[in-house]
Amino acid sequence: MSLDRMIEGIRRTGNPTVAGLDPKLSYIPAYIREAAFAEYGETLEGAAAAILTYNKGLIDALCDVVPAVKPQAAYYEMYGWPGVKTLVETIAYAKEKGMFVITDGKRNDIGTTMEAYATAYLGQTAVGSQMLTAFGGDALTVNGYLGSDGIRPMLKVCQEQDAGMFVLVKTSNPSSGELQDRTIDGKSVYRTMGDNCEEWGKELMGKYGYSGVGAVVGATYPEQLSELRAALPHTYFLVPGYGAQGGGAKDVAGAFDKDGLGAIINSSRGILCAWQKEENCAPEDYAGAARREAIRMKEDITSVL
Amino acid sequence: MSLDRMIEGIRRTGNPTVAGLDPKLSYIPAYIREAAFAEYGETLEGAAAAILTYNKGLIDALCDVVPAVKPQAAYYEMYGWPGVKTLVETIAYAKEKGMFVITDGKRNDIGTTMEAYATAYLGQTAVGSQMLTAFGGDALTVNGYLGSDGIRPMLKVCQEQDAGMFVLVKTSNPSSGELQDRTIDGKSVYRTMGDNCEEWGKELMGKYGYSGVGAVVGATYPEQLSELRAALPHTYFLVPGYGAQGGGAKDVAGAFDKDGLGAIINSSRGILCAWQKEENCAPEDYAGAARREAIRMKEDITSVL
């Protein structure tokens, strides 16, 4: 019902980071793509097979040093239902290896429809007399534009399944301020949404002082990170924007509490493409390069705590 | 690059409505479910097979009287990748029958990730030397909380693919006002988002005076519908909330322009469950009942234009 399992993973590995699995085909070494295309042709199935092989290699290399993965749904949906099947298999594989899985889908809807999303990504789907796992992640990112009607169905499923969510509060992109920085009754929209997270989270309090309702806050806005950390003491932050988007360790320092908890920092491209940036890295060592980058990132971030 | 094909469908059928395909298993006649479970067991595949049979029957019965369908992604994702495969097949079948397909996914993200969603739902995915269709709909619902960075990648794909989008502006649910009705510099959030739609739509103007950037505005808020219709002359409205959520024909009248264009009214449960409400309707006639309800709804709505 909370993010406690994620926090325990962070403590076990001493690493408050999450590896974003955003597997563009161009990130995948040619030998993996070619083997998949040889078997399935240049098809959606072929692309999906290449992604699965690539992801499994990454998960094997990362699972003892990184506590969580964050697959981004868009990069799987792009390859149609075979891509979505690879998402399901990636989630299952990461969980098998003990990782906490945050499915980044930014889902949003109301009532029974939001319940269907919650069931899909965190719960169990009833089919006749069976209860079946559709996706099976541990947490889901959601968008709160529709208000409480879009969040309450999630609270119920999180409670039943010991799962969590991250609500978009202040996103990392340049135009996030167009709406999120505007002021309502003297308070910014992102702060208003953050306060909602504290309120919604009351029903999902965990044992480490944080609830099951986290917030997405971008590394690219360090001032807002610090402001929100002070204002939202029970809300865990999922922080994108480190590395490729320009955020550094100093920028994310303010996201953490005095015990070094309170935030999990995401890196996608930095880890996925490490083999393309490392000097003289053989493509076959892509997962090794990912692991080396993940350890470098862990040291970089923990150095400011 | 616009919603012109949808408008032409509305004119051809004389029917400004869309059938929401939100196929809960409980809406599906037992004989269809049992046949699917007999073949695939009580599995996600079995549920997905039942939904596909049910949807095809509905599409066959509706395609000459209703111009568009709106499958709600959540009800397919709930059944995992087999459910998503059924969504792909439903979209293809509806298009084959000449219907305009609005995929209701309320997707949102930024930059290359939003581009991946646009590609998935409206575009073509590159795999090696091939360009492949992942989902293949005609329009996608999106959530604008992240600002222009989340919309611009859509504009590009809509232009290339002659497709459109509907941005959440004022949603039909009771709690939509928590954020959407709040005031920023004397203007409501929903109006601010609506004005954004007019702005974004400039790049996608069609030949009937409406752009490819539509807005979702709920039937449950008739005053806001009229206010927005007057304020947003180039923005087509997708209007949920008619029927089961409480909106009637009079409530949606304000969504239309003087030529009877400007809005497409959605009904999901009303059409899908018509066979359960009609007196003495045999389950085998579920599609006939859907057709009768769709015609009744058309007459109801066109009576106020």
ipTM higher than threshold 0.95: yes
For an interface test with B, the pick among A28, A51, A106, A199 (most B C-beta atoms closer than 10 Å) comes out as: A106
Which residue is it, tokens 């808020």? B221
Residues of B with Cβ-Cβ distance to A83 under 8 angstroms: 134
Using alpha carbons only, what angle is made at residue A142 by residues A136 and A147, rounded to the nearest 5 degrees? Answer: 135
Mean pLDDT (chain B) is 96
Question: How many C-beta atoms surround the C-beta of residue A81 within 10 A?
Answer: 26
H or E element that contains B282? none
Residues of A with Cβ-Cβ distance to B149 under 8 angstroms: 173-176
Q: Is the pLDDT of residue A69 over 80?
A: yes
Q: Is the pLDDT of residue B244 over 80?
A: no
What's the confidence (pLDDT) of residue B156? 95
Structural domain total, chain B: 1
The pLDDT tens digits of the residues spanning A135-188 come to: 999 999 999 999 999 999 999 999 999 999 999 999 999 999 999 999 999 999
> Residue B11 and residue B262: Cα distance in Å, rounded?
12
Sort B267 into a burial class: Cβ within 10 Å, 0-12 / 13-18 / 19+.
Answer: buried
**A106 and B107: CB-CB below 8 Å?**
yes
Residues of B with Cβ-Cβ distance to A72 under 8 angstroms: 109, 113, 116
Mean pLDDT (chain A) is 96
> Residue B167 and residue A145: Cα distance in Å, rounded?
11
The pLDDT tens digits of the residues spanning A141-151 come to: 999 999 999 99
One DSSP character per residue, A222-271 reads HHHHHHHHHH-TT--EEE--BSTTSB-HHHHGGGS-TTS-SEEEEESHHH
**A108 and B106: CB-CB below 8 Å?**
yes
Structural domain for B97, as ranges: 4-302
**A127 and B78: CB-CB below 8 Å?**
no
Residues of B with Cβ-Cβ distance to A147 under 8 angstroms: 173, 175-180
Nearest C-alpha of chain A: how many angstroms from B217? Answer: 12
> Residue B164 and residue A291: Cα distance in Å, rounded?
41
What's the confidence (pLDDT) of residue A300? 96
At A251, which CATH number?
Answer: 3.20.20.70
Q: Which token pair is B177?
A: 């006002």
- Candidates A42, A134, A177; nearest CB to B80: A134
Summarize the confidence of residues A201-226 as an average pLDDT.
96
Q: Which token pair is B35?
A: 């046949």
> Residue A73 and residue A54: Cα distance in Å, rounded?
16
A106 is catalytic: yes
**B176 and A147: CB-CB below 8 Å?**
yes
A-to-B residue pairs, Cβ atoms closer than 8 angstroms: 223
- Candidates B120, B148, B192; nearest CB to A78: B120
Q: Residue B71: which of B138, B15, B131, B14 has the closest Cα?
A: B138
Summarize the confidence of residues B224-247 as an average pLDDT.
92
H or E element that contains A217? strand A213-217
CA of A109: how far to CAs of A302, B107, B274, in Å? Answer: 37, 10, 24
Residues of A with Cβ-Cβ distance to B79 under 8 angstroms: 125, 127, 134
**A42 and B128: CB-CB below 8 Å?**
yes
> Residue B96 and residue B5: Cα distance in Å, rounded?
14
**B180 and A147: CB-CB below 8 Å?**
yes
Instruction: Say which of A106, A156, A202, A207 is annotated catalytic.
Output: A106
Residues in chain B: 305
**B129 and A88: CB-CB below 8 Å?**
no
More confident residue, B62 or B2: B62
> Residue A305 and residue A202: Cα distance in Å, rounded?
27
Give CA B283 to chain center in angstroms: 26
3-class secondary structure, A94:
helix
Helices (H), chain A: 4-13, 30-40, 44-62, 74-77, 80-96, 111-122, 152-161, 177-180, 189-201, 222-231, 249-252, 269-272, 274-277, 286-302
What's the confidence (pLDDT) of residue A270? 95
**A146 and B84: CB-CB below 8 Å?**
no
**A125 and B80: CB-CB below 8 Å?**
yes
Residues of A with Cβ-Cβ distance to B45 under 8 angstroms: none
> Residue B150 and residue B28: Cα distance in Å, rounded?
36
The pLDDT tens digits of the residues spanning B117-173 come to: 999 999 999 999 999 999 999 999 999 999 999 999 999 999 999 999 999 999 999
Instruction: Grade residue B194 by pLDDT with cuts at 50, 70 and 90.
Output: very high
What's the confidence (pLDDT) of residue A243? 83
Q: Which token pair is B165?
A: 């989008």
Q: Is the pLDDT of residue B207 over 80?
A: yes
Instruction: Grade residue B99 by pLDDT with cuts at 50, 70 and 90.
Output: very high
Nearest C-alpha of chain B: how many angstroms from A125? Answer: 7
Q: Is the pLDDT of residue B219 over 90?
A: yes
Q: Are B147 and A180 in contact (CB under 8 A)?
A: yes
Nearest C-alpha of chain A: how many angstroms from B163? Answer: 16
For an interface test with B, the pick among A89, A145, A155 (most B C-beta atoms closer than 10 Å) comes out as: A145
3-class secondary structure, B18:
strand
Nearest C-alpha of chain A: how many angstroms from B258? Answer: 30
**A42 and B130: CB-CB below 8 Å?**
yes
Give the residue from chain B lying closest to A122, CA to CA. Answer: B78
Nearest C-alpha of chain A: how many angstroms from B192? Answer: 9
